[in-house]
Copies of this chain bind each other. A is one copy, B any other.
Amino acid sequence: MSGHSDTTKRFLLAAKHAEISALQHLASNCQVVSSICELIHQFQKERGISNIFLSSGCERFAQQRRVQIVESRDAEDLLRSQLLAKYLVGDEITGNMRLLNSVTLALQGMDHVGVLRYKVEHQAISALESTQAYCRLVAGLLAVVFEAADVASDPTITRLLVALFNFIQAKEYAGQERAWGAMGFAKSHFDHSLCERLEQLQHSQLHSFDTFIEFANQNERQLWLDLEKHSSTIALNQMRSMIQQLADGSPIDSGISEIWYELATERIDQMHLIEQQLAIRLLKVAKQRVKIANEELHSHKKRLQKLATMTASQDSPLSMLFDASLPGLHGSESNTEHKKSHTDSLAVHHSFYDLLRDQSEHIRKMSEELNNAKRTIAEQKQIDRAKLLLMQQLGHSEALAYRTLQKRAMDQKIRIADMAELVIKAAQDELQMKPC
């Protein structure tokens, strides 16, 4: 009469199976993210080379461009084959709706890289337009990394994905800074608005790097600190200061363009090494988490077998019905003594109920940690959304929209994420007030 039904035991194991299944999907997502990370790097290189190729009237970097296109294509082919293998096996759909939709958008962009390359080849596009198109391509791929972080169910992996996303994002800003700088040198002068754009991009880099540092581990943080002290960074910082002094439009030798480009590229390549470290750890942790969960399932099964042959101790309650540490009748005195002694000896299971409580505690802790990591993601999403709304409402550029958001937050002495929430709320209210 005091036993547990077979159904209850099956559900205990089913919850563990569901965890394993979610972790396996997550591991697939991580492999895709790792390939995306590589492809973004190739597209960033192709963007820079194409920019110089166009700016020089197709004279410079023609050969480098051909070599680079082969590399980009290889990385794209790898990603495409992975996407098919991970998400479109037979008729079964394993991915999450939002992740799959972001993949579709990224693929849509990749489908048109051929058109873009053709236009570059035939100078049917300006250097600025070409850069814009490559930026959107990268943004589309980066959005997949973001969604992968947002749909992840494991706190450690979520934290790693947030770190990686922010690092790639910061590197992308560094790439855009390189492009704007190159344009300034090509024109032989930097005006006030260009200087502001560069400053904004440096600021955005710092912001993303801060989030990366918050979510990275000690080793990755150290790699980043080392890069900050690297000769290329120091030299680049000197050039950054120099450019800011040219805001009045003073002429500058366009030949310095190459030094700028090389320094910025060296730093970006160094960043890529850190990116790869993050991606390697991501794959390792994802694999490990699947392994651990499988071991836990195995241990659960063994414990269930053992418990079936054993007489349960009467020290602890055998059912949630008689567990005084659980809230019962509202207003009754609580008795948390059992709970305390229980948490001291998590490894010992005297009854099925002990095992179940441990699993519940494991899930609760994971959900709590997960929520902490997801809060950062939710805030980034809100800031992006508010930025886009301000761009649409006020016709602002992305940078100006961000500055507007920042300024309003400072004026009201609130966090930028909270300001973003207010902007979104106001837009929603306005939408509801509109007559249909």
Q: Is the interface of A mostly helix, strand, loop or mixed?
A: helix
A336 (CB) vs chain B CBs: closest residue: B392
Residue A167 is within 8 A (CB to CB) of chain B in the complex: no
Chain B neighbourhood of A105, CB < 8 A: 320, 356, 360
A357 (CB) vs chain B CBs: closest residue: B105
A96 (CB) vs chain B CBs: closest residue: B18
Given contacts A7-B80, A14-B88, A326-B136, contact A331 B101 (CB under 8 A): no
In angstroms, Cα B1 to Cα A115, docked, is: 7
Chain B neighbourhood of A333, CB < 8 A: 397
A328 close to B140 (CB less than 8 A):
no
Copies in the complex: 2
Residue A139 is within 8 A (CB to CB) of chain B in the complex: yes
Residue A78 is within 8 A (CB to CB) of chain B in the complex: no
Residue A190 is within 8 A (CB to CB) of chain B in the complex: no
In angstroms, Cα B360 to Cα A107, docked, is: 14
Chain B neighbourhood of A98, CB < 8 A: 15, 363, 367
Residue A201 is within 8 A (CB to CB) of chain B in the complex: yes
Residue A353 is within 8 A (CB to CB) of chain B in the complex: yes
A400 to chain B minimum Cβ distance, whole angstroms, is: 9
A133 close to B87 (CB less than 8 A):
no
Residue A28 is within 8 A (CB to CB) of chain B in the complex: no
A113 close to B321 (CB less than 8 A):
yes
B336 close to A197 (CB less than 8 A):
no
Q: Which chain A residues in 315-359 approach chain B with CB under 8 Å? A: 318-323, 326-334, 336, 339-340, 352-353, 356, 359
B371 close to A176 (CB less than 8 A):
no
Residue A285 is within 8 A (CB to CB) of chain B in the complex: no
B173 close to A112 (CB less than 8 A):
no
Given contacts A22-B97, A330-B173, A333-B397, contact A11 B103 (CB under 8 A): yes
11 A-B pairs with C-beta separation under 8 A: A4-B111, A14-B95, A15-B101, A18-B96, A104-B356, A108-B353, A108-B356, A131-B328, A135-B327, A201-B330, A331-B399
Closest A-B pairs by Cβ, 6 of them: A197-B331, A132-B328, A112-B319, A15-B100, A18-B97, A11-B104
